[in-house]
Every structure is written in structure tokens, then in C-alpha cells.
């Protein structure tokens, strides 16, 4: 879980990050497959954060690597995006419902293309061992044939980019993003994907990953944000009876 918050006595935002190994992982003695990155570009007034949740599926046996790559690539891409938008004076386009989709489509395609390229390169440098093929029992034969090997790196992704003018949010897969406005009201502005139900989720490794990334842009000058928190599904699962308890 990570995000940003603004202290009441300060105009500046602070970044935070918290990661805890889940109960089921402790019980099964499996590693945490989540990853998170936060970046404070003080000279530009840009703050970036990303969290990814590896799938915890034996067939996604390198999802911990996939989640790390997803976070690092998303942060790098968002930093470049922010500077390009600023240098070209495109901020207003982010608030235009006709022009924003084109900007976001290029950003999303870039992140997924880089992620796919990176995991392909990782597999080329570190081929699966016989033990790994055996562990991926359901897809082991397909992996041997080179069929959709990116599935072994499967992960979700949530990321945010904050500037003085806007807060841009991205999400692929499950997990929750909660935004608190100047009055302390909580909302989840990113559209939900109805395919993410229970333990089922979409993934960066899906063939239609580009089209399943959702986003939302908030005008931080007109609607100031005091906090934004993103958490993997393990956070909300800790409060199963009420989303209000998750917000609290």
C-alpha cells in the first residue's frame, strides 16, 4: 500500500509506502510477490508512485519479477510523460474528454510494451529450469513451446502521478485507489473492471491489457486532493464487511 498525503500545516505532499507479507503467504511459506515504488522529483514538483500485485499462481512463477518491472517502468514512463506534458503545455488537454484519451493511450501502450519487452529479455537471460517447468504444471508445456511466456510474470498495476496542476491515476487489474478531497470525502474515481471478482483479476500479461487499463485525471487546482492511497486487494480484503472501514 502506498500513496500521498498533505499535512494540514504544509502545502507540500509526502509520499509513503507500506508492505506486509500476507497471512496466506506466511502459512504457505511463499514470498511476497507485491512490489511498490515511490519517487519524489523535487526539482520538478512531481511525485510518482506505483504498486503491483503478482498473481500468486504457480503458473505465474515469476510474478514477483513482473511486479517489480511493472512498478519501475510505470514510474519512469510517468516521469517522462509529466515532463513532456509540461514542456508542450498539454495540461489542459488532460482535462478535455476528447483530447485526453489520445494522450493516455500513448502512455498506456508505452508502459505495456516496455513491460513485455523487459520480461521477454529477462526470460531470455534466465531460461526456466526443469524445476520451474514442473512447478508450472498447467502451462509448463506451453512455456516450453514459447507460447505466451509473459504469463509467468503476470501482475496487476496501479500508479499515480501528482503535479501542482493534476493527479493522474492508472489501474490495471484489481486493488483499490481511494482519493480524499479537501473536505475529507473519500471516493474511488478510477472506473472499476467487472471482470475483477473475488480472486479473479485481469493482468498486464493479458492479450488485451492495453484496453483494460483504466484511468482518471483530477484537476488539482480546482479540486485539491489532500490524500491518495492505492492498495493491493489484500488491503481491502482485511475489511471485508465495509468499504467505509477500508477508507477509515
1-20 confidence digits (pLDDT tens)? 777 787 666 678 999 888 77
pLDDT tens-digit profile of 157-167? 999 999 999 99
pLDDT tens-digit profile of 174-199? 999 999 998 889 999 999 999 998 78
CB proximity list for 24: less than 8 A, separation 6 or greater: 30, 56
Query: What pLDDT score does 191 carry?
Result: 95
d(CA 56, CA 134): 16
pLDDT tops 70 at residue 170: yes
d(CA 194, CA 186): 21
**Chain center to CA of 74:** 8
Q: What is the pTM of this model?
A: 0.91
Q: Residue 152: which pLDDT band, with cuts at 50, 70 and 90?
A: very high
CB proximity list for 135: less than 8 A, separation 6 or greater: 58, 61
pLDDT tops 90 at residue 102: yes
Instruction: Please report which residue ranges of the chain form alpha helices under DSSP H.
Output: 23-28, 63-88, 91-94, 100-125, 130-135, 140-144, 233-237, 243-247
Q: Which whole number is the average pLDDT over 122-130? A: 95
Q: Which whole number is the average pLDDT over 21-44? A: 80
pLDDT tops 80 at residue 151: yes
Query: What pLDDT score does 9 carry?
Result: 64
Q: Exposure string (b/e) for 85-94, b if CB count within 10 Å is 16 or more?
A: beeeeebeeb
Partners of 39 in beta bridges: 48
Query: What pLDDT score does 108 carry?
Result: 98
Q: What average pLDDT does the structure give for the chain?
A: 90
Q: Could you identify the residue written with the cell 509473459?
A: 150
Q: Using an 8 Å Cβ cutoff, are 167 and 223 in contact?
A: no
Query: What pLDDT score does 197 carry?
Result: 86
CB proximity list for 192: less than 8 A, separation 6 or greater: 214
Query: What pLDDT score does 8 carry?
Result: 61
Q: Which whole number is the average pLDDT over 207-223? A: 96
pLDDT tens-digit profile of 56-78? 888 999 999 999 999 999 999 99
Lowest mean pLDDT among 22-36, 81-95, 186-200, 216-230: 22-36
Lowest mean pLDDT among 84-88, 113-117, 244-248: 244-248
Amino acid at each position: 500500500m502506498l500513496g500521498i498525503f498533505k499535512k494540514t500545516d504544509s502545502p507540500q505532499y509526502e509520499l509513503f509506502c507500506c508492505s506486509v507479507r500476507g497471512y496466506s503467504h506466511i502459512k504457505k511459506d511463499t514470498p511476497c510477490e507485491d512490489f511498490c515504488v515511490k519517487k519524489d522529483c523535487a526539482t520538478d514538483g512531481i511525485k510518482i508512485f506505483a504498486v503491483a500485485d503478482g498473481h500468486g499462481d504457480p503458473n505465474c512463477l515469476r510474478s514477483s519479477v513482473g511486479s517489480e518491472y511493472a512498478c519501475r517502468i510505470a514510474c519512469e514512463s510517468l516521469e517522462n510523460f509529466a515532463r513532456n506534458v509540461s514542456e508542450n503545455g498539454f495540461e489542459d488537454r488532460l482535462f478535455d474528454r476528447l483530447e485526453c484519451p489520445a494522450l493516455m493511450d500513448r502512455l498506456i501502450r508505452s508502459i505495456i510494451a516496455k513491460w513485455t519487452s523487459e520480461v521477454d529479455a529477462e526470460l531470455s537471460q534466465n531460461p526456466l529450469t526443469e524445476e520451474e517447468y514442473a512447478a508450472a504444471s498447467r502451462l509448463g508445456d506451453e512455456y516450453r513451446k514459447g507460447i505466451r511466456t509473459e504469463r509467468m510474470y503476470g501482475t496487476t498495476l496501479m500508479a499515480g502521478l501528482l503535479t501542482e496542476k493534476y493527479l493522474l491515476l492508472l489501474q490495471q487489474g484489481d486493488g483499490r485507489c481511494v482519493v480524499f478531497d479537501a473536505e475529507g470525502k473519500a471516493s474511488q474515481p478510477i472506473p472499476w473492471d467487472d471482470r475483477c471478482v473475488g480472486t479473479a483479476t485481469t493482468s498486464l500479461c493479458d492479450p488485451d491489457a492495453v484496453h483494460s487499463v483504466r484511468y482518471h485525471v483530477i484537476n488539482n487546482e480546482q479540486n485539491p486532493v489532500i490524500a491518495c492511497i492505492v492498495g493491493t486487494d489484500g488491503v481491502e480484503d482485511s475489511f471485508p464487511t465495509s468499504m467505509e472501514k477500508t477508507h477509515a
